[in-house]
Chain A
Amino acid sequence: MKKIVSLFCLLVILISCNSSDDSGNVTEVSTTFKFTHNWDGALIRHYNFGPIQYVNAHGETIGLERLRYVISDIIFTKENGEEIELDVYNLVDLTNEVNTEYTPNTRIPIGNYTNVSFTFGLDNEDNAKNHTDLNSASFNVPEMMGGGYHYMQFDGKFINSNMEEQGFNYHAIRAVDNSGVNPTFPQDTFFTVNLGAIDITNDVEIEVKMNIAEWFKSPNLWDLNMYNQMLMPNSAAQIMMYQNGQNAFSLGDVFQ
């Protein structure tokens, strides 16, 4: 009797822990994206916020006050070109260190993926949806500026050319012209971040590194004296953010 009960329990445990799907051929694993942040290699945590201590490429000394951004639509590309797209989004909040680790509910098959990518911000379809959690986080963009959501809210202070502390609001949104009843959109400013190839053999933690300094670096050398506040309705500034952001993310450590 004891053996039967033990065998039954073992069977239940094995069934509940088996990560294979019903076909029995494909092992599926979880993926966790760990978002870390640095300033040209120096790790930045929320407790580094406040003091004016980082120097951007243009030479202004800056301090960080608030950094939140959305990533969405994670795509795993197989060797045969087939894509597994996770229609998800995650609001990373470094200010409060919330959602800096994100595990999508969907598990993916093990395999050698030639690219793992995600969207910085929200594509136009996702941006037009009503996301109650993003509303609750006051991440909206007003309707007269096209509606939807911020892609990134990055606030801080810098020492301006008069040697005074001044605030900046580096807020990335969908570039918009003619703010008002009928706004127009000169170009899309969400973009794809390609992390490169990852051979996934087990449950995996993928580090996504953001070099915050890159937002000020290239191809547009960012002069905070010129572009500091009220940048949301400034489509030229938005397009420069879009261009600079392309270099901000990279693949870090992969643990599995």
Chain B
Amino acid sequence: MKKVLTLLTIILFSSCSKDDSGYQPAALPLDVPEIFSNNIIPPIIPTDNPQTVEGVALGKKLFFDEILSSDGSKSCASCHSPQNAFSDNTPTSIGVAGVAGFRNSMPLFNLAWNYNERFTWTGRELSLERQIEGPVTNPIELQSNWDDVIDRLQNHPEYPELFQLAFNTSTISKDLVTKAIAQFERTLISANSKFDRYSLGQASLTQQELNGLDIFLREDKGDCFHCHGNPNNPLWTDNDFHNNGLDATLTDLGLGVFTGDPNDNGKFKTPSLRNLEYTAPYMHDGRFTTLDEVIDHYSEGLQNSPTIDPLMKKVAQGGVQLSDQEKADLKAFLLTLSDPSLLVNPDFQN
């Protein structure tokens, strides 16, 4: 009996022991801002891709490296530039051959709080790691193929060692490349706007900004909050998909392409309102050059269509009919959601 118990004890302990190599990348939990931990549930980190110091560093290097593109001319950052809150300033992004794509570059921040884990304007990618796969091989974007990318990385003087440090293997794979970039992208956290500081009692808003917040939250005025969050949901997006009345005739089917459900035609992901100051032009196709045009759209420009969201108010009148003063107030509030620290954070620069 004593021998049996000893054997069971050995089995129990050996099953709990760590990897034999001894080396483990250093854990780097996300630094969750106070405004988030106070108000919303924790971020989503895949169990098979924990954040590590070495993984994030590798992901950052890959994010800014043109080695992922077919001709060495473009990186992820080419269309997701730090000075544009990790978006770009063209209506639709330009790929390696100088050809414009079909959709506006989505800004990248607070991605670990995308609770439904549907990424891109159409929600077709069901994890951040999977989202990263697509642009590399997209014929308009980086125009590469993964075999070539892996060859280039494997024969690079630095990358095999960096993968060894990040993932305990120098054998590079598509899976590990996307994991590393996803780790870096999850660190892109924006939570230091004037409004964040106001919510924490560290700043005050002007009367015009407060008036704009009132319009944003009033159901009989802007009614922006049903889709774009509120002071208790500092993501400023519901991470859901809506037809916001851009077109009477739907040519780009959006979410409907992915789901095949005609009820989803013309629906696109609600973008966060954070950092609007840096992410023009707006909408999935970059059709609006300025924030004023966006506000005008919701005020007077709504187009009816079979799948327009019922949260769109007064569609028959073109929208919520804001006065010029109300539009100016709303804009003033929206600009309080700008977080310039995101643009200059040294951890996020090449």
Contact = CB atoms under 8 A, between A and B. Distances in A.
Interface of A: 1, 4-5, 49-51, 65-66, 130, 132-133, 135-138, 140, 142-145, 153, 155-157, 164-169, 179, 229-233
The B interface is mostly helix, strand or loop, or mixed, namely loop
Interface string B257-277: 000011100000000000000
Interface string B284-311: 0000000000000000000010111111
B233 interface: yes
Contact of B39 (A135, A143, A166): A135
A127 to B, nearest CB: 13
| Secondary structure of the A contact surface, majority rule | mixed
Given A155-B310, A165-B304, A169-B310, A132 B40 contact: yes
A232 B219 contact: yes
B230 A233 contact: no
Interface string B301-333: 000101111111111100000000000000000
Give the interface size class of chain B. Answer: 35 or more
A135 B310 contact: no
B310 A138 contact: no
Interface centre among A49, A138, A142, A229 (most CB of B within 10 A): A138
B233 A140 contact: yes
A65 B316 contact: no
Contact of B226 (A132, A138, A145, A168): A138
B1 A1 contact: yes
B227 to A, nearest CB: 8
Given A138-B238, A142-B225, A166-B315, A65 B233 contact: no
Contacts of A4: 1
Given A140-B230, A165-B304, A167-B315, 6 more contacts: A136-B235, A140-B233, A144-B217, A153-B226, A167-B313, A169-B226
B198 interface: no
B102 interface: no
B310 A233 contact: no
Nearest to B314: A229
A132 B1 contact: no
Interface in B26-85: 38-41
B233 A230 contact: no
B220 interface: yes
Interface string B175-212: 00000000000000000000000000000000000000
